[in-house]
Amino acid sequence: MSKYCTKCGKELKNEDIFCGYCGNQMIEETEDGEKVVTVSKTNGLAVAGFVVSLASLLISFWGITSVVGIILSAVALSQIKKTNESGKGFALAGLIIGIIGIIIMFVAFLFLVILSFTM
């Protein structure tokens, strides 16, 4: 997705705050007509979700923390869609890692059940 300078109309990168051609500061209008300066900051929840998901894989709190990581990442993704913040990569990674964590938990659980039946 790209955007255009509101002053000179040149194409800019989405994360640009200032136009590289004329130096114009990007001010975008929201749906209700409110003028908002585009700030390229990373969504904190996206980072939190990523860290929680990753940590749950590493410390083997299978399931519980993975679910928290997935929820945080999903909320972060919807926030990023609205606010245009950066950190989408973190949110997506958190979501994927969280899902992997749950799959591992499920497989481990299944393995334990099978094991207990065969013994």
Alpha carbon 68 to chain centroid, angstroms: 14
> Of the candidates 4, 8, 25, 27, which one interacts with Zn ion according to CB under 5 A?
8
- How far, in Å, CA of 26 to CA of 73, rounded? 28
Output the six-digit token pair for 103: 């799959």
Residue number, 25 or 60, with CB nearest to Zn ion: 25
Residue 19 within binding range of Zn ion, rule CB under 5 A: yes
Residue span binding Zn ion (CB under 5 A) among the ranges 2-10, 35-43, 72-80, 105-113: 2-10
Residue number, 24 or 79, with CB nearest to Zn ion: 24
Residue 88 within binding range of Zn ion, rule CB under 5 A: no
Angle, helices 44-58/64-83, rounded to nearest 10 degrees: 160
- How far, in Å, CA of 52 to CA of 1, rounded? 29
Residue 17 within binding range of Zn ion, rule CB under 5 A: no
Binders of Zn ion in range 22-51 (CB under 5 A):
22, 24
Residue number, 5 or 77, with CB nearest to Zn ion: 5
Residue 21 within binding range of Zn ion, rule CB under 5 A: yes
For every residue of 30-90, DSSP letters joined together read -TTS-EEE----B-HHHHHHHHHHHHHHHTT-TTHHHHHHHHHHHHHHHHHHHH--B-HHH
Residue 5 within binding range of Zn ion, rule CB under 5 A: yes
Residue 18 within binding range of Zn ion, rule CB under 5 A: no
